[in-house]
Amino acid sequence: MINRIALVIQYDGSGFSGWQNQKDFITIQGTLEKKIAELDPIRPVKVIAAGRTDSGVHASGQVVHFDSSGPIPIHKWTSALNGRLPNSIKVLEAVYVSSNWHACYSAKYRRYRYSIFNGSYPNLFLQNISWHKYRVRLDVNLMRNALSDLLGLHDFAAFQKAGSNRPNSLTTIQEVSICRSGDIVTVEIQASGFLYGMVRL
């Protein structure tokens, strides 16, 4: 019997070449598939994510799914995988889902957070989780006003990298927010889906 399993995972992307499998590079997907295959060697393992992340990007609540035909019960998957995965990848939860449920196509939203360190000089202890940007002190109120125009359904073709296979460039931005805490400016954006390279651009 084949069961579809959904996982909620976290990862520190610093040492990985992004989510997607790439020949001769270490990726989150490749690492996860290898460790699942150790537990369920009966069939080839293919892990599908709600969204792909680029090199160096972290995830706090990435959702993925895979099909399993092995004997491991669902309540054992989290500890079994965490005992094999590197410290930079952690499984938070494992649940059975229906065979037609899909981590990417069934997702209701994706959410990105960008942390900008807006201090005069880089901070050693924040360099792996923030982007150092300083010419002037950023005006959060001006940025907030600009971001508000993104809300709703718009054509974001100007923010799409070449190579996308999507049939159109329409996307609904559901929520945007920006706040400052000391020298750290945090921008969050949530949408039904994002175009290829859209948030970074």
According to DSSP, residue 51 is labeled: S
One DSSP character per residue, 59-99 reads EEEEEEEEEE-SS--HHHHHHHHHTTS-TTEEEEEEEEE-T
149 a catalytic residue: no
pLDDT of 200 reads 81
In angstroms, rounded to a whole number, what is the distance separating the alpha carbons of residues 131 and 13?
A: 14
Q: Phi and psi for 94 in degrees, rounded to 5?
A: -135, 130
Please list the pLDDT of the chain residue by residue as tens digits (201 residues). Answer: 899 999 999 999 999 999 999 999 999 999 999 999 999 887 889 999 999 888 889 999 999 999 998 889 999 999 999 999 999 999 999 999 999 999 999 999 999 999 999 999 999 999 889 999 999 999 999 999 999 999 999 999 998 888 777 888 999 999 999 999 999 999 999 998 888 888 888
User: What is the model's pLDDT at position 167?
Assistant: 84
Q: What's the token pair of residue 177? A: 């927010």
Dihedral of alpha carbons 107, 198, 31, 58, sign: negative
> Can you list the pairs that 98-102 forms with residues at least 24 positions away whose Cβ atoms lie under 8 Å?
98/4, 99/2, 99/4, 101/4, 101/6, 101/65, 102/48, 102/65
Choose the catalytic residue: 12, 24, 40, 54: 54
Handedness of CA 166, 172, 173, 175 (dihedral sign): negative
Cα 38 to Cα 3: distance, rounded to the nearest angstrom: 17
**pLDDT the model gives residue 199:** 85
Helix, strand, coil shares, percent, the chain, to 5? 20, 30, 50
